[in-house]
A and B are shown apart, each in its own frame.
Chain A
Amino acid sequence: MKKFTMLVSLFCVCAFLAFGAGSKETPQQVVKEAGPITLTILTTATTQNPEGPLAQEFFDEFMRLNPEIKLEVTGVPMNQALTKITTLAAAGSLPDVFVNTENIIGQLYDMGICEDLTPYMTKAELENITESVRIGSTMENKLVLYPWYSGPNALIFRKDWLEEKGISAPKTLEEMRLAAKALTADTNKDSLVDRWGFGMIGTNDDSGQTRFVMILRGFGAKELYFQDGTWKTDIGSPASVEAFKYFTNLKNVDNVVPAGALENSFNENVNLLAAEQIGMLIAGSNSVGKIFSANPGLKGKIGSVIVPSGVTSYTPSSILGWSVNPSSKHKEAAVKFVKFVSSKKNAIKWVEVTGRIPCTNDAISDSEYLNTPLFEGFVAGFKAMEQAPNAPYYAEVKNVLGRTYQKLILNPALDATKEVQAAGREIQKIIDNNK
């Protein structure tokens, strides 16, 4: 028995050493001097519709124009992108080009796997990127994400319903609350409310948390910000308490939110909007297309307005683009590829088909559909985009916010001030732990 155990542990140690050493000195891939080079690409575009087929068209076109470059594309669903990129990076198998977004840029940059793209670009090219996007793609003065498109959040609303009530698109959070109250109704007179003013995403996931932060910052409180060389939080301040109260009251006091708020993630709210059960929702421009495909009858009945403000208005940057692997052997080719995909012609085509906003000034000025009333709020939001905190532990901070609003919605009797202050202490602890 003892011998056997020893044998097994010996085995283990050997295996550990073998792999530990083996993975460090991975055989360098032999790159042929002549012949086409292979560029590996990880994207979220190809697994979606209508994005997939169009993206494939771009890739094929690129290979046709650049016969010396062969693209090897892998698609990954957005919700798995970070897991996949992290695994590949940790195993030293990162592709040459990979998807990056405002949501994961902090983590990926922190891992040191995003090449600074500034040296590969001319001044004109840099300046052509819209300012709000450029700021959102820059970390410590390095452009680490080459933007492709943007899908900023705005408040979308049922134009026809608001007109019926004689209300104009809400500009302030208070107006939004009143509009939500006005829209909430029992339309079939069975004494049960069947139409709700506001679609609340109350799940404690990224889409719920991000939307709450938009309201929180509207009240002038920041969940996390960098000042005087250190990260700080406003959670616990009177303004932050007001924000939590406003948000949770929508459900508990104003009753303008459909039942099941805490389980309704973005998908469920799209469903409710498509089924004409909610009147307003904070959503990205691309989701409008999905809503129309779910309910074609809504075309022309939806408008958008920049997220209503309290003391201020906050639209977090929304950018999807590419990062280039710093240890890639084909950086020039990689840059060529990302530039091609985001070129004016391709960008315009892309955003029109997928309902997004291009990231470059020349493409924006030529995208006529951006002038339609539907896009009013998205375009305004796009111009006002601010970079979200890029601390690598930002997701953890947002998780505390999500848990707190869920707690307050579930237990209306709780003292909001106390709970929010406790959340503030928890966030401070996270900041301290990561110093």
Chain B
Amino acid sequence: MIKNTTDRLRQNSLGYIFIFPALFVLVAMIVYPMLYGIGISFFDTNLVNKWKFIGLKYYVRLLTDENFGRSIVKTLIFTFGTVAGRTFLGLLFATILVDKRIPFKPLFRSIIVLPWFFPDVVIGLLWKWLYNTNYGLINHLLLGLNMIKAPVEWLSNSSTAMGAVILVSIWKGFSFMVVMLMAALQTVSQDLYEAAEIDGCGRIGKFLHVTLPGIAPVLSTTVMLESMWSFKHFTLIWNLTYGGPVDATNVVSIDIYKTGFQYMRFGESATRAVYVFIIVIVISLLQRKFKNSKGY
């Protein structure tokens, strides 16, 4: 055993060799864009012929900007709804799809992951069409089934717009969870289930005591990644509502895009981005703390 430990110490520097290629790619490709993004947040700039250093002016201004605060809240709602929905459906379908007793699994698996295969732009426009009050398929079907009496204005109504957008986001993205969790479920030993059964665990007990701990590393990683993406998400929402009606779905990434590429105030846009950056870091730190306290 002692020999083993010294062996380990000696070989630990090998770790650097293993991570070097990844580090190289990231340093070469992504460090500069990030620093650039942070750098321009201290300027009033259109990035071409106007560079005025203004220090922390935008940071201070945004802190007192109600609209910015509101957009952060909208983003949090969108993120929470999306991640919760995707995780729930991901767990549900991954568990079903690795069940040995279900027939035609390859077929069902392929169907469940279909939404993942189309570009966001197309899915956004497609659902906008499906939701359309006058000629959308959803109202058409619901009216036909007598589930609603009059067409519902899904995207024109502040109370339904956010829900409708989240639903699309879940629909588009839960396949990723399913695939990741299906793979993770394969690593859970069948023997553990049998042992749990002998200990008298029911289905829920087995899920809580065997499945969940078994897939915890993958689950927590995917949840963290999903949260980060959802917080920054843009395309679906933009194509569905442009952030409207009024500001019902105006998440922060829409403001980042508008301030930058429509109003040409890249400094302010970058400042918003830096705030998002900070918030996402905080979320992931909290999430890791939670994870550690759970002992995963």
CA A19 – CA B241 in complex, angstroms? 37
- A395 at interface, CB cutoff 8 A: yes
A202 and B134 within 8 A (CB):
no
CA A396 – CA B119 in complex, angstroms? 29
Q: Of B49, B131, B258, B262, which is within 8 A of A263 by CB?
A: B131
**Partner-binding segment picked from A8-16, A280-288, A293-301, A316-324:** A8-16
- B261 at interface, CB cutoff 8 A: yes
Number of chain A residues close to chain B: CB under 8 A:
43
B27 and A258 within 8 A (CB):
no
Interface mask (A44-83 → B, CB under 8 Å = 1, otherwise 0): 0000000000000000000000000000000000000011
**Partner-binding segment picked from A30-38, A106-114, A130-138, A363-371:** A106-114
Q: Of A107, A272, A403, which is within 8 A of B246 by CB?
A: A403
With A16-B36, A268-B132, A407-B246 given, name 12 new contacts (CB 8 A): A12-B35, A15-B35, A16-B32, A204-B242, A204-B243, A204-B244, A205-B242, A260-B156, A263-B132, A264-B156, A393-B265, A410-B156
Q: Whole-angstrom distance from the CB of A271 to the nearest CB of chain B?
A: 7
- A335 at interface, CB cutoff 8 A: no
Q: What's the count of A-B pairs with C-beta under 8 Å?
A: 122
B48 and A111 within 8 A (CB):
yes
Please report which residues of chain B, range 12-47, place their CB below 8 angstroms from some CB of chain A when the two chains form the complex.
27-28, 31-32, 35-36, 39, 46-47
Q: Of A11, A82, A107, A261, which is within 8 A of B156 by CB?
A: A261
Q: Of A15, A89, A277, which is within 8 A of B31 by CB?
A: A15
Please report which residues of chain B, range 204-263, place their CB below 8 angstroms from some CB of chain A when the two chains form the complex.
241-247, 258, 261-263
Which residues of chain A come closer than 8 Å to B36, judged between CB atoms? 16, 19
Q: Of B133, B158, B244, B262, which is within 8 A of A395 by CB?
A: B262
- A392 at interface, CB cutoff 8 A: yes
- A262 at interface, CB cutoff 8 A: yes
- B128 at interface, CB cutoff 8 A: yes
Which residues of chain B come closer than 8 Å to A40, judged between CB atoms? none
- A121 at interface, CB cutoff 8 A: no
Which residues of chain B come closer than 8 Å to A343, judged between CB atoms? none
B264 and A107 within 8 A (CB):
yes
B48 and A89 within 8 A (CB):
yes
CA A293 – CA B265 in complex, angstroms? 40
A406 and B244 within 8 A (CB):
yes
A11 and B27 within 8 A (CB):
yes
A271 and B135 within 8 A (CB):
yes
Please report which residues of chain B, range 126-182, place their CB below 8 angstroms from some CB of chain A when the two chains form the complex.
128, 131-135, 151, 153-158
CA A204 – CA B39 in complex, angstroms? 31
